[in-house]
Each structure stands twice: as structure tokens, then as C-alpha cells.
């Protein structure tokens, strides 16, 4: 159990540790892991400096865990004098802030001064900008501890040339200075290739007659033989088939019809087709002509082969047999085996003479010593990298803690959490709670548990062509016009514009106000859809009836049945009378209501309709939780991240137009009769309200409408246990009641 006295604040419905000092950061390792808001987070997809995140991910597994955060806290608070400086989130660290009593702090101070010296700067502080450009830091250094040497690593011109030739042959690795260089492994491979290539060439010199049967022309002759070898084998097989079946000779040779098929074309463009024809005309003795009687497409190759091989082996011959051809192939056996044993091809481009010169100079030991001298500075170079890490954590670590140990930044209206990707403008609103979605799979499985109204959008940056998916949480306004396919505009944290298109909606209550009107909106949509459906059905039926009447023969008209219609009229009359009696009874009972009673009645009716929806919305809004969305993005959330009603209202800004605006010149004009009808209806409502609340009497002072006298008369009739008959009502209405 930690003896350090932690301070807690209630944030997002949870008591979370409140990191308010450098001492809190220094003792972070003592905080019970169960009290951390986050146990691990991904490195990618966050609105945070990528280099800082990579530095925090010490094991390079793509995630930042609690133990890695604790290690970073212990390290940074040990190498600076005052841990409270971390809360300032500055990117410039003065030399006076280094803890010289700590060996690492002292070493880092020396490295910081070395960095400024390499950059040619003179000042008593160092910044993130100074340490971020490693190429600039090491640009003028001969040796920098990375185990790679460049031409700049030595003043010896011979070594410079050898390094350049090694790079030309073996490739290169990039030195910290940004220049191409070589390491120890490349040097070993280079000298191994030099030795192998020289030995391979020496083997040919030791047995020239066997390996090069045609002298300096052996390579060209071998190439020509390989080019035409398959075609020669095809020719000899055709001759054998012709000898086997005399009648097949014409089929095996070039038929006139095949030549006629291309005779009307540009034959100079038909090389591919002509090359498929036999190498030469089939002969009875099966010999291959080696003069100009071969297929014209293969003539150039044959001419080269004749000059290099046939004129030497079969001087004066006009044709050769298959056995003679096989003897030619056999002569290349040793050459072919020598080619197969080729080694050191990487350095072949240097030429045999240069290879021998490099082997004779033997600068391998000097190059490897240069590598050792460079590696001797490794600790200094690592310290320079650690200074860069120190500057990044000095600036960013407290911000990271406010998004990891607690979610202080998320609940702070003046800050943005590192998982908030930007703002989505859609449907006259701005959604500030937007998350990047690397994979929809986890979101499809778990985001329904959040209890939030979520718009999933495909976003495209038209300038760069980049695409991404975001989840935008809607926490205020109406949902009537939100649907899949609706377009919006997304601005990322850097201010870049992305065209956004909604492709999925997770529906949940947005607010109590929206839940109050939800039943009426649903009823309105239901009535509208029903009317449209019935109208469409009626239109279809009328059209069908008209069509059938046009197509069908005329039917005999039925005689008018007065009894039938009398019955219908009687039934309708009884129904109207019944409805009238019911309405009359309702009106008589409502006539006794006063104004406040009417208001209470209306409120009760609306509460009955909207109450269940509001209660359900209130229960869900209290449980809104961001954790399922973050978990779907790879976070290991250790505590709920509630988004209650008041906080949620700050995450979505609804556009508000001014009350005063110029009139719409294209607005529909209301007909005069509609205006008259509207005012008559308003006057009737006013009259009825005044009448039922006994205000009309007080305004007009007319005794005829004495409400109290009427009520007394009605009570007297009720005492007599007799319902007022129509005649009695007439007498009652015609009597002048005096107050």
C-alpha cells in the first residue's frame, strides 16, 4: 500500500487521481494500478506526437502499458532538478534544469552541449527543434557511433576510394549524418566477393582451351547456340517424321496456305508469325542447311553462328547432320560448367584488373579499424538520442498522463483528448467527439453498448487521396434529418478538410428534449406514411377500375332501390346522433373547467404521451459511456468514461440563426380565406377559454350569462333525481336569472 498521499477529483462520474505536481509524477509507480483510468493504449491513430509515443513504447510492441509509463516517469524525474517543470509543457529545457547530481543527468547535459556544438549554436538551453534533426547534428561529424563509415569518415584518399567502390558494388546503409556508408558486414562481404571473383577468373585462365573452345568468341557463340538450339531440335525431329511417313512431308513443311494467309500484309511486321515456321525446308537426307536457305527470321543468328562455329568446325560445308550439331553442343560443356560456378558477381562491374588491385592493396583491416573507432563513440551517440527523448517527454509527458492515468483533458472544455480526431460539421451541428476507426469489426460488435448516438462516416481527402473512417458522437439536436448517405465535412486536428459520408448509424437517445418530441415525430411520420400508402393504393385502384371499365363490356344498370338507401340513411343518422350525444356530454363536462384546469389537462395528456420516452431517454443518457468505443480502438480502459447529459451538451454545438432575418421573397403566399379561417379559429379558442373559465361574464357584465345562477339551477334539477329533459333545458335557457 502506497504511503504517498494522493489527491482525487470526481471526473466523469468517477473518483480519479488528480496529478497536480511533479511529486505526483515522481511517485507514479506507487499508485495502485486499479486506480488508473487506462491500462494500455495503442501507439497509432492518436492526435499526439508520434516520436514521443514511440519513445514511450520501450518494447516496440505497438502499445504503451502502465509499466512503461512508470519507467518513463521515474527516469525523467531523476534527470531534471524540478519535476514541477513538467506541468508547464514547454519545449525548451534550460541547462540549469539538468540534475548534475545524477550520473545520467550529468551525462545528458554534456550531450546537450555537444549537440549545440555540432550545430554551431551557442546558448544555455536546448529545444526539441535542436534535437529532432539527427542528420543536422551529425552532418559535420566524421565518426558518430552508429557503426557505419562514409567517405567523410577518413582523410585517406585510398580508403575513400575503397569505400566508394564497396558502396558501388554492395549497396549502402545510411549513416546518422544522412550520407551513404558501409558497416563491418558489408566490408567482409566485399572482400569475400573480390577473392571469389578473382579465383573464378583464374580457373578459366588455367584451362583456356577446354573452357573457351572458340577463343574470345566463345561467349558470343554460346549465346547464339542457346538462341537457336530449340529451333534446330525441332527441325531435325521434322526430318525424322518425314522419313518415317513420306506422305507427311507437306504437312511438316511450310504450307503455301500459311504463306498466302499473310501475303497481303506488311511481311516486315510479321516476324513473330514467320518465326513459328520450320527453320528450313525438310530434306530427304535430314541434313540442316547452314547457308542462306534457312527461315529469314533466323538468318542473322545463323550467319553469326556460321562465322563463329561452322566455318571453323565444318569449313566449306553447306549443311550439317544432327550428329555434327550435337558435337558442337558438346564443346560448350566445360564453358557452361564454368559459368555455373561463377562467384563474386557483385564486383564484376569493377573489372578484373581493379579487383586484383584491391586485393593487392588489402585495406580491409584499415576499414574495420575505422568501424571500431566509430563504435567507440556509441555511448555518446546514445546520449544524444536520450537528450532528444528527454526533450520530448519534458514537453509531452504531462499531457499524456492527463489522457492515460486520468481523463482530465477529455473532461476539460479548454483541452482536447488525444483520441479526439477532429470536428464533423453535419446537419447544422458540429460534433467535437470524433474518433478514428482503424477496424470496423470491433466497433460492429461493441459500440451498441456505449448508449450513444453514433454516426460512422467514410472520409476522403480530395487533395491527398487519403481515406479513413471516423465515429462521430451526436449529443445534441434533432435526428429527423440524419440518415445513411448524408454528407458532411470533417476537419482533422491539423485543419485539413475531408469529405464525410455517413454509412452507418447507431441510434440512441440524444437528449431529454429530443425524447419529449420523439413520440409526436413518430406519429407524424406514421400518419404521413399511412396517408401516402393509402393514397397510392387508392390511386392504383381508381386507375385499375377505370382501365377495367374501358376494357369490359357495358353492364345492365341496376334499378334504384329506395328501401336500401333509406336504411343506409337511417343508420348514418343514428350514428351521427350517437356521436352528437357523446360530444354534447363531453362538452357539458368540459364546460365546467377553468383555465388552470385546462392547462393541467393538456400537461397531463402530453406527459402520458411523452413521459415513457423521456424516462427511457433519461435512464440511457445517465449510462452513456465512451469506454466501448475506445476499447474497440484497442484501448484497455480500466474505468468507465461517462458522458452525462450536461457534459454531452458541450460536445455537440448546434447552429443558432439570429431571430431577425430578411423575409423570404420566394415564400408561398397564404390565401385570404386561409387567413380568415385562422383568425376565426383563434377567436373561437379565446371565446371558449373565457367562457369556460367564467372570465367572459366578468368582462362583459352581462347577466344573461350568469355562470353561478346556471350552476345553481343545474344542481336543483340534480337534487330532484331527474335528468334535464329537452323541454326543461329550453325553459332553463329562456329564463332570465337575476344575480
Half-sphere exposure of 310 (CA within 13 A, CB side): 20
Best CA proximity match to 396, nearest among 91, 688, 147: 91
Best CA proximity match to 363, nearest among 202, 157, 200: 157
**pLDDT value of position 40:** 96
pLDDT tens string 72-126: 999 999 999 999 999 999 999 999 999 999 999 999 999 999 899 889 999 999 9
pLDDT tens string 274-285: 888 888 888 878
Q: Is the pLDDT score of 702 beyond 50?
A: no
* Cα distance between residue 634 and residue 45, in whole Å: 10
Q: For the CA atoms of the chain, what is the radius of gyration? A: 48
**pLDDT value of position 189:** 94
Best CA proximity match to 262, nearest among 249, 281, 277: 277
Region of residue 668 (phi > 0: left; psi between -120 and 50: alpha; otherwise: beta)? beta
Best CA proximity match to 442, nearest among 274, 631, 720, 709: 631
* Cα distance between residue 294 and residue 427, in whole Å: 80
pLDDT tens string 353-385: 999 999 999 999 999 999 999 888 888 788 888
Q: Between helices 322-331 and 218-244, what is the axis angle to 10°?
A: 150
Here the cell at position 131 is 534535437
3-class secondary structure, 138: helix
For the whole model, what pTM was predicted? 0.65
Could you identify the residue written with the cell 350552476?
711
| Choice between 663 and 439, residue whose per-residue pLDDT is larger | 439
Best CA proximity match to 641, nearest among 13, 40, 39: 13
The overall average pLDDT reported for the chain is 83
Averaged pLDDT, 399-409: 94
Confidence of residue 734 (pLDDT cuts 50, 70, 90): very low
Here the cell at position 725 is 329533459
* Cα distance between residue 278 and residue 248, in whole Å: 14
Best CA proximity match to 232, nearest among 315, 339, 306: 306
Partnered with residue 636 across adjacent β-strands are 40
Question: Averaging pLDDT over each range in 144-148, 160-164, 507-511, 691-695, which range is the top one?
Answer: 160-164
**pLDDT value of position 388:** 94
Q: What sign results for the dihedral spanned by CA atoms 288, 294, 295, 297?
A: positive
Helices (H) and strands (E) in the chain, counts: 30, 19
* Cα distance between residue 249 and residue 262, in whole Å: 22
**pLDDT value of position 581:** 53
List helix spans (H) across 552-692. Answer: 562-590, 595-622, 627-632, 645-648, 672-692
**pLDDT value of position 251:** 81
Could you identify the residue written with the cell 332501390?
561
Best CA proximity match to 27, nearest among 11, 10, 7: 7
| Choice between 128 and 251, residue whose per-residue pLDDT is larger | 128
Q: What H or E segment, with its residue span, contains residue 37?
A: none
Confidence of residue 602 (pLDDT cuts 50, 70, 90): low
* Cα distance between residue 184 and residue 371, in whole Å: 7
Here the cell at position 30 is 506507487
DSSP state of 587: H
Range of weakest confidence among 289-293, 319-323, 491-495, 620-624: 620-624
Q: Is the pLDDT score of 619 beyond 60?
A: no
Averaged pLDDT, 131-148: 85
**pLDDT value of position 590:** 52
Written as one string, the DSSP assignment of 294-357 is: B-GGGHHHHHHHIIIIIHHHSTT-SEE-HHHHHHHHHHTHHHHHHHHT---GGGGGG-HHHHHH
Burial class (CB in 10 A: 0-12, 13-18, 19+), 583: exposed
**pLDDT value of position 318:** 86
Here the cell at position 49 is 506526437
* Cα distance between residue 228 and residue 225, in whole Å: 5
Averaged pLDDT, 619-647: 86
* Cα distance between residue 325 and residue 327, in whole Å: 5
3-class secondary structure, 173: strand
Q: What H or E segment, with its residue span, contains residue 524?
A: helix 512-551
* Cα distance between residue 406 and residue 399, in whole Å: 10
**Which value, to the nearest 10 degrees, does the dihedral of the CA atoms of residues 107, 111, 113, 119 take?**
180
DSSP state of 111: H
Q: Which stretches does DSSP call E strand in 360-418? A: none
Percent of the chain beyond pLDDT 90? 43
* Cα distance between residue 710 and residue 141, in whole Å: 111
**pLDDT value of position 571:** 55
Averaged pLDDT, 124-149: 88
| Choice between 668 and 236, residue whose per-residue pLDDT is larger | 236
Contact 516, 530 (CB under 8 A): no
Question: Averaging pLDDT over each range in 331-340, 489-498, 696-705, which range is the top one?
Answer: 489-498
Confidence of residue 728 (pLDDT cuts 50, 70, 90): very low
Partnered with residue 40 across adjacent β-strands are 65, 636
**pLDDT value of position 395:** 96
Amino acid at each position: 500500500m502506497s504511503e504517498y498521499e494522493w489527491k482525487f477529483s470526481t471526473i466523469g462520474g468517477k473518483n480519479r487521481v488528480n496529478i497536480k505536481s511533479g511529486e505526483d509524477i515522481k511517485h507514479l509507480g506507487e499508485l495502485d494500478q486499479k486506480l488508473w483510468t487506462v491500462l494500455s493504449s495503442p501507439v497509432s491513430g492518436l492526435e499526439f506526437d508520434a516520436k514521443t509515443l514511440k519513445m514511450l513504447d520501450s518494447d516496440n510492441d505497438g502499445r504503451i502499458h502502465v509499466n512503461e509509463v512508470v519507467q518513463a516517469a521515474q527516469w525523467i524525474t531523476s534527470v531534471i532538478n524540478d519535476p514541477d517543470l513538467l506541468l508547464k509543457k514547454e519545449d525548451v529545457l534550460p541547462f540549469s534544469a539538468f540534475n548534475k547530481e545524477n550520473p545520467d543527468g550529468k551525462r545528458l547535459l554534456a550531450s546537450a552541449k555537444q549537440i549545440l556544438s555540432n550545430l554551431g549554436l551557442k546558448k544555455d538551453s536546448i529545444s526539441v527543434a535542436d534535437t529532432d534533426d539527427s542528420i543536422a547534428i551529425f552532418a559535420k561529424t566524421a565518426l558518430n557511433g552508429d557503426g557505419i563509415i562514409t567517405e567523410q569518415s577518413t582523410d585517406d584518399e585510398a580508403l575513400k576510394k575503397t569505400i566508394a567502390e564497396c558502396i558501388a558494388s554492395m549497396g549502402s546503409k545510411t549513416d546518422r549524418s544522412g550520407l551513404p556508408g558501409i558497416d563491418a558486414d558489408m566490408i567482409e562481404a566485399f572482400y569475400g566477393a573480390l577473392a571469389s571473383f578473382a579465383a573464378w577468373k583464374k580457373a578459366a585462365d588455367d584451362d583456356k582451351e577446354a573452357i573457351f573452345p572458340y577463343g574470345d568468341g566463345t561467349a558470343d557463340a554460346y549465346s547464339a547456340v542457346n538462341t537457336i538450339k530449340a529451333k534446330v531440335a525441332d527441325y531435325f525431329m521434322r526430318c525424322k517424321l518425314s522419313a518415317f511417313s513420306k506422305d507427311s512431308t507437306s504437312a511438316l513443311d511450310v504450307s503455301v496456305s500459311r504463306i498466302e494467309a499473310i501475303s497481303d500484309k506488311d511481311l516486315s511486321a510479321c516476324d513473330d508469325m514467320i518465326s513459328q515456321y520450320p527453320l528450313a525446308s525438310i530434306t530427304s537426307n535430314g541434313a540442316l542447311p547452314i547457308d542462306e536457305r534457312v527461315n529469314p527470321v533466323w538468318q542473322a543468328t545463323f550467319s553469326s553462328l556460321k562465322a563463329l562455329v561452322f566455318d571453323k568446325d565444318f569449313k566449306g560445308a553447306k549443311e550439317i547432320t544432327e550428329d555434327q550439331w550435337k558435337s558442337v553442343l558438346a564443346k560448350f560443356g566445360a564453358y557452361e560448367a564454368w559459368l555455373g560456378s561463377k562467384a563474386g558477381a557483385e564486383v564484376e562491374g569493377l573489372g578484373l584488373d581493379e579487383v586484383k588491385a584491391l586485393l593487392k592493396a588489402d585495406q580491409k583491416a584499415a576499414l574495420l579499424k575505422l568501424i571500431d573507432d566509430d563504435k567507440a563513440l556509441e555511448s555518446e551517440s546514445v546520449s544524444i538520442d536520450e537528450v532528444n527523448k528527454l526533450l520530448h517527454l519534458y514537453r509531452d509527458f504531462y499531457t499524456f498522463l492527463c489522457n492515460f492515468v486520468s481523463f482530465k483533458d477529455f473532461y476539460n472544455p479548454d483541452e482536447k483528448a488525444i483520441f479526439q480526431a477532429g470536428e464533423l460539421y453535419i446537419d447544422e451541428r458540429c460534433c467535437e467527439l470524433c474518433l478514428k476507426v482503424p477496424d470496423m469489426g470491433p466497433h460492429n460488435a461493441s459500440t451498441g453498448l456505449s448508449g450513444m448516438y453514433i454516426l460512422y462516416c467514410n472520409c476522403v481527402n480530395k487533395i491527398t487521396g487519403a481515406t479513413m473512417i471516423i465515429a462521430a458522437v451526436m449529443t445534441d439536436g434533432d435526428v429527423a434529418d440524419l440518415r445513411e448517405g448524408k454528407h458532411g465535412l470533417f476537419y482533422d486536428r491539423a485543419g485539413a478538410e475531408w469529405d464525410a459520408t455517413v454509412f452507418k448509424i447507431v441510434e440512441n437517445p440524444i437528449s431529454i428534449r429530443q425524447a419529449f418530441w420523439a413520440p409526436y415525430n413518430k406519429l407524424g411520420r406514421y400518419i404521413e406514411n399511412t396517408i401516402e400508402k393509402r393514397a397510392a393504393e387508392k390511386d392504383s385502384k381508381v386507375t385499375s377500375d377505370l382501365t377495367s371499365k374501358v376494357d369490359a363490356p357495358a353492364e345492365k344498370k341496376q334499378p334504384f332501390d329506395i328501401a336500401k338507401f333509406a336504411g343506409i340513411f337511417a343508420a348514418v343518422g343514428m350514428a351521427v346522433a350517437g356521436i352528437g350525444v357523446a360530444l354534447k356530454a363531453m362538452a357539458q363536462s368540459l364546460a365546467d373547467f377553468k383555465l388552470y384546469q385546462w392547462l393541467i389537462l393538456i400537461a397531463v395528456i402530453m406527459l402520458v404521451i411523452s413521459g415513457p420516452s423521456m424516462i427511457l431517454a433519461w435512464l440511457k443518457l445517465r449510462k452513456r459511456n465512451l469506454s466501448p468505443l475506445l476499447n474497440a480502438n484497442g484501448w484497455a480502459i480500466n474505468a468507465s468514461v461517462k458522458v452525462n447529459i450536461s457534459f454531452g451538451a458541450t460536445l455537440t454545438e448546434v447552429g443558432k440563426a439570429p431571430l431577425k432575418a430578411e423575409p423570404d421573397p420566394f415564400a408561398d403566399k397564404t390565401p385570404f380565406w386561409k387567413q380568415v379561417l385562422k383568425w376565426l379559429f383563434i377567436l373561437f379558442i379565446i371565446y371558449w377559454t373565457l367562457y369556460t373559465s367564467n372570465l367572459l361574464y366578468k368582462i362583459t357584465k352581462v347577466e344573461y350569462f350568469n355562470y353561478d345562477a346556471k350552476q345553481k339551477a343545474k344542481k336543483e334539477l340534480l337534487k330532484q333525481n331527474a335528468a334535464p329533459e329537452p323541454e326543461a333545458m329550453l325553459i332553463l335557457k329562456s329564463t332570465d336569472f337575476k344575480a
